[in-house]
Every structure is written in structure tokens, then in C-alpha cells.
Amino acid sequence: MATLRNLTTSACRPTGATNITRALRANSHDHTRPLAILSHI
């Protein structure tokens, strides 16, 4: 679980997210956003 949490936190940083909690919540509401973020890594 910690590995997945670290992966998502690290994936949010390059997108310009300064508030990780807000970014995680925004990504949880739209199922296409995490896939888009992962495609940029």
C-alpha cells in the first residue's frame, strides 16, 4: 500500500500539483485523469 501511495504522490508532482491531497481527490473523481498522468511519466 505504501508503494502505491508513493507512486501516486510522485506521479502528481510533475503535473505541477503543489497540494497533493487536492490532486489525489481530483484524480479520484475522474477515472481518466490518473491514466493521463501515468502516460506522461
Q: Which grid coordinates are listed for 37? A: 498522468
**Number of other residues whose CB lies within 10 A of the CB of residue 36:** 11
- Give the model's pLDDT for residue 15: 77
Q: What is the pTM of this model?
A: 0.51
Q: Is the pLDDT of residue 3 over 70?
A: yes
- The C-alpha atoms of residue 22 and residue 39 are separated, in whole angstroms, by 20
- Give the model's pLDDT for residue 34: 67
Confidence tier at 40 by pLDDT (50, 70, 90) = low
The structural domains of the chain, with segments of one domain joined by +, span: 2-39
Q: Which grid coordinates are listed for 15? A: 503535473
Q: Which residues contact 11 (CB under 8 A, 6 or more apart)?
A: 34, 37, 38, 41
pLDDT in tens, 10-32: 877 787 878 888 887 877 777 77
